[in-house]
Amino acid sequence: MTVLAIEGLRKSYKGHLSITTREVIRGLDLTIERGEVFGLLGQNGAGKTTTIKMILSLIFPDAGTIRIFGEPNSSVTVRARVGFLPENPYFYEYLTGVEFLDFYGRLFGYGRAERERRAARVLALVGMTERAAMPLRKYSKGMLQRIGMAQALINDPEFVILDEPMSGLDPIGRREFRDIILDLKARGSTVFFSSHILSDAEAICDRVGILKDGRIGTCGRLADLLTSSVKSWEVTFAGPTFASLQLNGFSGSLLSARGDESLVRVDVEADLARLLDAVRARAGRLIAVAGRRDTLEDLYLREVAPAP
């Protein structure tokens, strides 16, 4: 079942004094299926937040359609099934954590007992039960991110939209957020999130899309986009210098040399055998041979790097 379907989305912003316009999104198409964790990647200013805001009807597209669960995204009933955590969230700082979640619970029309039950559940989920009585103005950035996640999940949403959810979190917090997202997926929710932290995206996404020039350039399952075979090797050896091996027509290069240790990249398998033989022939000591696979970072850099 399709959870999100975007077709031909366009959005431009007016410049200074409304004389100039800058088209940020230029014909974006995207489909997200139920149960997926989708990562929207792109450089700063690529239009990730603009896209998310259009999905949530916070801003309106110049052209194109957005449907969530088959209904127009402006539908109020659809929004009851969606959870949203904005980037660097700001909240009513005069409220305590409990009052804050109670307020959002009211916006879904829940009764008092239901609100209390749901608030307790999401507070426990984001590890904020102990700080729930504190006013939000005393929260750290990471705590605000957590309570923000709690309000996004108060309605037990089927579709969760997270804008840069890991920003502002320490490594432990990032790990916990990753676990929360994976837990959402395990319970059948669909997750759409934007990020520029590629390691997080690689760890939790089923599919990624890279936003470039206002469109989704590369999009697909990580397993399909990243070749699983080893692309190159890194060989560390001690003893002879790389130059002294005199390998003619060698496909790799010396990456670093420290003391009598050398680190060499090898691009072709046949050259790997030649290098190992040469090291042994010179009575060198082999320290490590590591195969390097394609990473999301490699793919991302290939996609967003400006054309030469």
- Give residues in contact with another protein (CB under 8 A): 13, 53, 56-60, 76-77, 79-80, 82, 84-86, 88-92, 94-95, 99, 103-104, 106-109, 148, 151-152
Rounded to a whole number of angstroms, the minimum distance from the CB of residue 104 to another protein is 7
Rounded to a whole number of angstroms, the minimum distance from the CB of residue 95 to another protein is 7
Rounded to a whole number of angstroms, the minimum distance from the CB of residue 77 to another protein is 7
Helix (H, G, I), strand (E, B) or coil at 77: helix
Rounded to a whole number of angstroms, the minimum distance from the CB of residue 56 to another protein is 4
70 or 291: CB nearest another protein: 70
146 or 274: CB nearest another protein: 146
For residues 94 and 135, what is the distance between their CA atoms, to the nearest angstrom? 6
- CB-neighbour burial class of residue 298 (10 A; exposed 0-12, middle 13-18, buried 19+): middle
92 or 280: CB nearest another protein: 92
CA 68-74-75 angle, 5° bins: 75
Rounded to a whole number of angstroms, the minimum distance from the CB of residue 52 to another protein is 10
Angle 112-125/97-107 helices, nearest 10 degrees? 120
13 or 290: CB nearest another protein: 13
194 or 262: CB nearest another protein: 194
42 or 86: CB nearest another protein: 86
What DSSP designation does 59 have? S
Cβ neighbours of residue 206 closer than 8 Å, sequence gap 6 or more: 36, 37, 38, 185, 221, 222
For residues 11 and 21, what is the distance between their CA atoms, to the nearest angstrom? 10
Rounded to a whole number of angstroms, the minimum distance from the CB of residue 200 to another protein is 22
Rounded to a whole number of angstroms, the minimum distance from the CB of residue 147 to another protein is 11
Q: Are residues 207 and 222 in contact, defined by beta-carbon separation less than 8 angstroms?
A: yes
Instruction: Report DSSP letters for 265-298, one per residue.
Output: EE-SHHHHHHHHHHHHHTT-EEEEEEEEE--HHH
Phi then psi for 173, rounded to 5 degrees?
-60, -40
56 or 279: CB nearest another protein: 56
Q: Are residues 226 and 47 in contact, defined by beta-carbon separation less than 8 angstroms?
A: no
